């Protein structure tokens, strides 16, 4: 790496440091290492976890009593994990005031960053304004920016960041002194993933303790795929499923106010032609995770669009079925409780409660529900899922749509039970096993675990007789093994014979 320039250092009560650097190509990757660049500037130990604590604070703190002037012009700057780009920068730090006359970085086809501003008392109580323009044209560019601006590894490493491309935003940050605290405001506008974004945020407190600051945030994303921004909040949320579910046009809006570490109150909604989602309540960001107490709802004319949002594959029987769900939500760390769940599925009412707990890669659940009318094959179809590979389809051949309405047409895939285990209790006025087998006053108890899906007990009235059944569906290689037992006593021979003889519609296989 070759460079030209000038260095002037004058020691004294106030050190004077002047740096002017000019280089056609500068490679700083080995010198800075693989860690985030900001850590070398802002962390007390220079970004080195193994370094002893010097007690000198970060770079801005160490230089606040000095006079520093830097002019950098690099034709091609190579930094860790960042696309090569051209840098033009002129910065001054004097008397605790940081003056950014120019900060321009251009990596063609990847990242464009332009910034300027002036901040007084930058190390202790920032006051001033900074304006920044950011453009990112690739998924990898968005990943780099998320790392630079301090998002967690879950976000920067998420596969869903492609939903934010292309990104073109303008941000204005204003800070002022308010008695003993800093009062800051952020204005954000531009485009993210094909949608228009507008956000206003205010915070009063210490910049070093934002979790204890008083905040007020209001913003919206409107246009094509507005749900893309959720990738920053929920990096594991499958954007392909969400995009298919929400449609292409709509609005995502958020309002939050309070103190993050103790109490936040807010609401969020996603309004599209295909689906409406809303959450409202209060919570906090604690050391143990997010806490939330509130109310949530979802409505769609096609249940097959909503089911994938819960990480499940929708069976064909869910297509075109109207669905509305509402529930009280309580989240504490890895535990989520849904109480007073009320739903209508195709006009049939369902009520109940559910509890989920995430422990590593495994989710434990307990669900209790009461329903007017429900299809057992349709419910199991959600849990069973199925393979969609062309190889499997060719091997098994094509199965007609009539027999594939509920059950998989291409083989079972019980992958979901590898990540979940729990118990389900269901009471239904009518439980459909398949026409004409409709169990009246049914009670079903089921267990999901590594061994498969077990219906430990199913009781009710079938053909005016007492019906009892049990069964298991277990993984077997690339398929599944089904065992079932059933007993029917005191049934009406007339009702039974009419069903079996076909005098009533029969489609059960």
**Model pLDDT for residues 162-194, shown as the tens digit of each residue:** 878 889 999 999 999 877 788 999 999 999 888
Distance (Å, rounded) from C-alpha 173 to C-alpha 186? 5
Nearest by Cα to 337 from 323, 352, 353: 353
Distance between CA atoms of residues 202 and 206, nearest Å: 13
Q: Look up residue 228 and give its two tokens.
A: 């893309």
90 sits in which H/E element: strand 82-94
pLDDT greater than 60 at residue 40: no
Query: Which residues neighbour 436 within 8 Å (Cβ) at sequence distance 6 or greater?
Result: 498, 499, 504, 505, 506, 508
**pLDDT beyond 90 at 198:** yes
Take residue 338 and report the two structure tokens written for it.
């849904």
Max mean pLDDT among 98-102, 161-165, 180-184, 274-278 falls in 98-102
Q: Mean of the per-residue pLDDT values for the chain?
A: 81
Residue 38 has pLDDT above 60, yes or no: no
- How far, in Å, CA of 145 to CA of 81, rounded? 10
pLDDT digits 0-9 by tens, 300-318: 888 877 776 665 666 666 7
> 212 by DSSP, 3-state: which?
helix
Whether 118 has a pLDDT exceeding 90, the answer reads yes
Q: What is the pLDDT of residue 379?
A: 76
CB of 103 closer than 8 Å to CB of 121: no
Indicate if the pLDDT at residue 85 is higher than 80: yes
How is residue 208 written in tokens?
């070093």
Closest CA to 90 of 79, 100, 76: 100
238 or 353: which leads in pLDDT: 353
Q: Which is more confidently placed, 409 or 175? A: 175
Mean pLDDT of 285-293: 83
Residue/partner pairs of 493-498 with CB below 8 Å, 24 or more apart: 495/463, 495/464, 496/463, 498/436
Q: Which of 119, 141, 137 is nearest to 128 (CA)?
A: 119
User: What is residue 383's predicted lDDT score, i.e. its pLDDT?
Assistant: 67
Three-state secondary structure string covering 461-480: EECCEEEEEEEEEEEECCEE
> Mean per-residue pLDDT for 44-59?
46
**Is 207 a residue whose pLDDT tops 90?**
no
Rg (CA), the chain: 30
Residues 6+ apart with CB under 8 A from 103: 88, 89, 90, 91, 113, 114, 115, 116
Dihedral over alpha carbons 401, 406, 409, 415 (to 10 degrees): 160
Q: Which residue has the higher pLDDT, 494 or 93?
A: 93
| Tokens encoding 505 | 């519609």
Confidence of residue 79 (pLDDT cuts 50, 70, 90): confident
Give me the pLDDT at residue 509, please.
31
């Amino acid at each position: 790496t070759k460079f030209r320039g000038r260095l002037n250092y004058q020691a004294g009560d106030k050190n004077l440091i002047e740096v002017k650097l000019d280089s056609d190509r500068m490679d700083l990757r080995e010198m800075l290492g693989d860690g985030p660049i900001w850590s070398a500037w802002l962390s007390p130990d220079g970004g080195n976890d193994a370094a002893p604590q010097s007690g000198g604070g970060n770079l801005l703190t160490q230089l606040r009593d000095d006079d520093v002037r830097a002019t950098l012009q690099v034709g091609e700057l190579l930094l860790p994990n960042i696309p090569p780009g051209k840098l033009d920068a002129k910065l001054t730090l004097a008397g605790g005031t940081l003056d950014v006359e120019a900060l321009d970085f251009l990596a063609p086809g990847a990242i464009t960053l332009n910034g300027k501003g002036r901040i007084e008392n930058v190390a202790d109580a920032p006051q001033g304004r900074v304006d920044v323009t950011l453009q990112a044209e690739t998924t990898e560019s968005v990943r780099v920016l998320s790392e630079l601006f301090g998002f967690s590894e879950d976000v920067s490493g998420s596969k869903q960041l492609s939903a934010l491309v292309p990104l073109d935003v303008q941000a204005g940050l204003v800070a002022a002194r308010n008695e003993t605290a800093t009062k800051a405001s952020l204005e954000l506008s531009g485009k993210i993933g094909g949608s228009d974004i507008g956000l206003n945020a205010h915070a009063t407190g210490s910049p070093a303790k934002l979790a204890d600051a008083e905040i007020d945030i209001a913003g919206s994303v409107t246009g094509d795929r507005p749900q893309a921004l959720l990738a920053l909040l929920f990096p594991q949320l499958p954007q392909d499923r969400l995009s298919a579910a929400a449609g292409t046009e709509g609005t995502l809006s958020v309002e939050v106010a309070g103190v993050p570490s103790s109490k936040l109150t807010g609401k969020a909604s996603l309004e599209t032609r295909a689906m409406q989602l809303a959450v409202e309540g209060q919570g906090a960001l604690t050391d143990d995770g997010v806490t939330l107490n509130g109310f949530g709802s979802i409505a769609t004319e096609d249940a097959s669009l909503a089911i994938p949002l819960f990480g499940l594959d929708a069976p064909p029987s869910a297509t075109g079925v109207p669905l509305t769900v509402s529930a009280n939500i309580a989240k504490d760390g890895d535990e989520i409780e849904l109480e007073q769940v009320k739903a209508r599925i195709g006009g049939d009412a369902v009520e109940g409660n559910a509890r989920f707990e995430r422990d590593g890669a495994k989710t434990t659940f307990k669900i209790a529900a009461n329903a007017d009318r429900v299809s057992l094959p349709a419910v199991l179809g959600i849990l069973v899922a199925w393979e969609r590979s062309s190889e499997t389809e060719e091997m098994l051949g094509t199965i007609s749509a009539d027999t594939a309405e509920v059950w998989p047409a291409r083989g079972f895939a019980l992958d979901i039970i590898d990540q979940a285990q729990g118990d389900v209790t269901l009471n239904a006025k009518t439980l459909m096993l398949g026409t004409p087998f409709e169990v009246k006053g049914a009670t079903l108890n089921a267990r999901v675990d590594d061994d498969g899906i077990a219906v430990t007990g199913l009781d009710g009235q079938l053909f005016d007789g007492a019906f009892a059944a049990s069964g298991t569906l277990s993984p077997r290689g690339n398929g599944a093994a089904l065992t079932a037992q059933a007993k029917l006593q005191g049934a009406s021979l007339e009702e039974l014979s009419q069903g079996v003889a076909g005098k009533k519609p029969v489609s059960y296989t």
